[in-house]
Structure 1
Amino acid sequence: MKNILIPTDFSDNAWDALLYAIRLYDAVPAHFYILHTYQAGTSRTSNRMSKYRDTHLHRVLKDESEKGLKKIQRYLDENLLNDDHKYQTISQAGDLVFQIKQVVTNYNIDIIVMGTTGATGAKEIFMGSNAVSVINHIELCPVLTVPKDYEFTELKNIIFATDLKRRFYSIELFSLIELQTIHESNICLLNVKEGDDLDKTKLHNLKDIKALFKDGTVSFEQTELDGKVAKSIMNFSKNHNSDLVCLVNSEKKFLKKLIEEAVIKKVSFHSAIPLLVIPI
């Protein structure tokens, strides 16, 4: 059973991310955990009236959270019938990233799927900046972000962007390998060319990465640097009808350069297709 976490703020984008995740793992036994977090401001004053207001606000937010989740649960149970799927809602007070970490640990979550843009008004803060915050602070499982208004399409073509400076192991790329297996996808290993041809180490790493995927489904492409690495990746994915882009988020990352130009943040906000970020 695959355990999938879907954070929601009840926005259309969060709902689309949930439906995307359900369709993405339609053929896999899966337990979907739908998490909503809420946070009431705490008054700096300590008089009885301020405490009453804080308590009342907390109660209101808790009630709204539970009602929203019940509505989602009811729809899923009545309309998305799949004997291999289970749905469970979780309402928690507190910081989003902290609560996600707790859920990931407590429920042995395999992957987080979330939208990149939240509801209008105050709630916009939730998914805009927090999608990036989750990517940067969750170290135990991959994060898959779904752009606003994106409609599910089969994963025919997946881009795995890498600088080829390190070797990868199957356990590290399990989520990507699994998706490729489920959807019988073609994998394009993409390297942004910034200098000379590949050296022996990179050629060896390329060979090892190819060996992790099914025979005949992996290709290798290089693309010229177009100003920024992030821009080069996105332009390539757009021009090659890609259905998913995968990046690795590690300390040594594809990476020092990508960190310097904040590629994870740039791609998260500007990618027109889903983005899978794997922590290593």
Structure 2
Amino acid sequence: MKKILLPTDFSENSINAIHYALNLFEHDTCTFFILHVKSSTSYTTDDLMLAGSESLYDSIVKGTKDQLDNLVARLKKQFNNKNFQYETIVDYDILIAAIKQVKTSKQIDLIVMGSNGVTGAKEVVFGSNTINVIRNVDSDILVIPEGFQFEKLKEILLPLDSFDSMGGKAFSKILKFVKAYSSKLHVLRINQNGITLDVQNNDLKNIAYFLKDFPGIYHNINGVPMHFAVSNYIQTHAIGLTILIEQKELLFERFFMGSSTTKIGNNIEVPLLVFHSS
């Protein structure tokens, strides 16, 4: 059974990410943990005064729990999938701390969230909340662009640079995901300083071994920043999802950062699945 964490701030963007997850995993047995995190900064003196003799839980947290229960009721009606179970969680904490706690206590396999956080703040590519979760939570994360409508996955893009290896735990999880949810894998080996013949030959051997009987396409690209190569490749191919192998801060340096003329912009173009290398 998959255990999937779905943080929500009840925005249209976060609900869209939840819908994407339920569509993607429709044939799997899943428990979805729908989490809403309340911050102390969201409460005012007036909120506490209005609580009167009620407890803080009854006056504030219970209202949020009711919202989550109503959301689950709508999801059950819309998707009507007997393989799905739901659990709602309201936490009074900082977002990152709350997600870490749920990940550990519920043994979460994947986090799915929208590309913009509740604050609406943006950082290079997408919401600062999402960036912070990728940076600080040791979990695989699927990020859904704002307004992106689910389509059955067919072709997936895997960009690699000199730090990435076709081996190890992350690559094994990538292969499992690709074979389960798509029909073709595009591999881009990108190195701004040039790719050696040994690296290329090793890649081709690995693809022949790991992707035996599964359609795969391999390209090597020299002298082009990763974010620029990926953006252009997505625009010229029917890519439905991009996968990255996260290696601490290197992910952001390789994929998101760049000059003002070459960085991808403020929005990712297709869903982004980040697998941690550790």
Q: Same fold (TM over 0.5)?
A: yes
Alignment-derived partner of residue 158 in structure 1: 156
> Matches of 2:11 and 2:208 in 1, distance apart?
39
> Matches of 1:155 and 1:42 in 2, distance apart?
38
Contact kept in structure 1, 2:186 and 2:216, CA below 8 Å: yes
Q: Percent identity?
A: 24
Alignment-derived partner of residue 205 in structure 2: 207
How many residues are aligned here? 267
Q: TM-score, normalised by structure 1?
A: 0.82
After the TM superposition, which residues 119-268 of structure 1 pair with which residues of structure 2 at under 5 Å, given as runs? 123-125=119-121, 128-139=127-138, 141-169=139-167, 171-208=169-206, 211-223=209-221, 225-226=223-224, 228-251=225-248, 253=250, 257-258=254-255, 261=258
Contact kept in structure 2, 1:158 and 1:245, CA below 8 Å: yes
Q: Indicate the larger mover: 175-184 or 247-256.
A: 247-256
Deviations 1:115-155 (A, max 9, x none): 01246xxx43598210111111111x211100011011111
> Matches of 1:217 and 1:145 in 2, distance apart?
25
Contact kept in structure 1, 2:242 and 2:271, CA below 8 Å: yes
Deviations 1:80-136 (A, max 9, x none): 2112111111111111111111111111111111001246xxx43598210111111
Distance change in 2, residues 1:269/1:136 (3 Å):
farther
Alignment-derived partner of residue 31 in structure 2: 31
Contact kept in structure 2, 1:162 and 1:254, CA below 8 Å: no
Supply the AA of the counterpart residue of 1:70: D
Deviations 1:24-45 (A, max 9, x none): 11111111111110112399xx
> Matches of 2:202 and 2:274 in 1, distance apart?
23
Contact kept in structure 1, 2:193 and 2:222, CA below 8 Å: no
Deviation at 1:233, TM superposition (A): 0.9
Alignment-derived partner of residue 68 in structure 2: 69
Distance change in 2, residues 1:156/1:42 (3 Å):
closer
Deviations 1:244-279 (A, max 9, x none): 0111111484676458649xxx66942111001111
Q: Which runs of 5+ in 2 are unaligned?
A: none
Deviation at 1:229, TM superposition (A): 2.3
Distance change in 2, residues 1:270/1:223 (3 Å):
farther
Contact kept in structure 2, 1:27 and 1:182, CA below 8 Å: no
Q: Which runs of 5+ in 1 are unaligned?
A: 44-48
Alignment-derived partner of residue 15 in structure 1: 15
Supply the AA of the counterpart residue of 1:130: N
